[in-house]
A and B are shown apart, each in its own frame.
Chain A
Amino acid sequence: MRRVPIGLLWVMLIVLVSAGGCAAVKPWEREYLADKIMQFDPDTLRAEWHLHVQDVLEGDRGGFNGSGGGCGCR
Chain B
Amino acid sequence: MNRTARVRVAGCIALLAGVCGAVEAVEPPQDETLVGYNLYSGGGLTVQGPALIVKKELLNRMSVTAGARVDLVSSASVDVVTQASPYKERRTEYNLGGTVLYDEVLTGVDYIQSRESDYTSDTVSVRMTHDLFDRNTTVNLHVSHSWDKVGKNNDPSFGWKDFNRTIYAGGLTQSLTQRWLVQVNYEATADSGFINNPYRSVYTIGGGTAPEHYPDARTGQAWVLRTGYGFAPDSTDELSPGQRSSIQFDYRYYQDTFDIQSHAARVLFQHYVGTNWLFGTSYRYHRQSAASFYGDRLPATQLYKARDKELSQYSDHWIGASLQYKPIGFTWAGLSNFYVELSYDFLMYDYDNFTDPRTGELYSLRAHVLHTSLGFNY
Measured CB to CB, the residues of A under 8 A from B are 1, 3-4, 6, 9, 12-13, 16-17, 19-21, 23-27, 29-33, 35-53, 55-72, 74
Contact = CB atoms under 8 A, between A and B. Distances in A.
22 contacts: A3-B261, A27-B135, A33-B178, A35-B230, A38-B179, A39-B228, A44-B22, A45-B34, A45-B371, A50-B371, A51-B19, A55-B8, A57-B5, A57-B349, A63-B254, A64-B185, A65-B21, A66-B173, A68-B25, A68-B183, A69-B138, A70-B23
B246 A38 contact: yes
B239 A67 contact: no
Nearest to B142: A65
A1 B184 contact: no
B138 A27 contact: no
A49 B51 contact: yes
A53 to B, nearest CB: 6
Contacts of A53: 40, 347, 369
B230 A37 contact: yes
Given A55-B9, A69-B25, 13 more contacts: A30-B135, A37-B272, A47-B23, A48-B16, A60-B252, A62-B167, A64-B15, A65-B18, A67-B23, A67-B24, A68-B25, A68-B131, A68-B140
- Identify whether the interface residues of B are mostly helix, strand, loop, or mixed: strand
B120 interface: no
A65 B255 CA distance: 17
A33 B222 contact: no
B245 interface: yes
A44 B53 contact: yes
Contact of A65 (B169, B270, B311): B169
Contact of A62 (B189, B225, B365): B189
B260 A66 contact: no
Contacts of B271: 37
A36 B289 CA distance: 35
B167 A1 contact: no
Contacts of A50: 345, 369, 371
Contacts of A64: 15, 18-19, 22, 185, 224, 250, 252
8 shortest interchain CB distances as A-B pairs: A68-B138, A68-B173, A70-B25, A66-B171, A63-B222, A65-B18, A72-B135, A63-B224
B226 interface: yes
A66 B134 contact: no
Contacts of B169: 62-63, 65
A53 B6 CA distance: 10
Contacts of B371: 45-46, 49-50
B248 interface: yes
A70 B24 contact: yes
Interface string B311-326: 1000010000010000
A21 B369 contact: no
Contacts of A48: 16, 19-20, 51, 69
A25 B8 contact: no
Contacts of B22: 40-41, 44, 47, 64-67
B370 to A, nearest CB: 9
B62 interface: no
Contacts of A56: 1, 5-6, 8-9, 40, 47, 310
B25 A66 contact: no
B182 interface: yes
Interface in B166-198: 167, 169, 171-179, 181-187, 189
Nearest to B60: A74
B288 A45 contact: no
A60 B230 contact: no
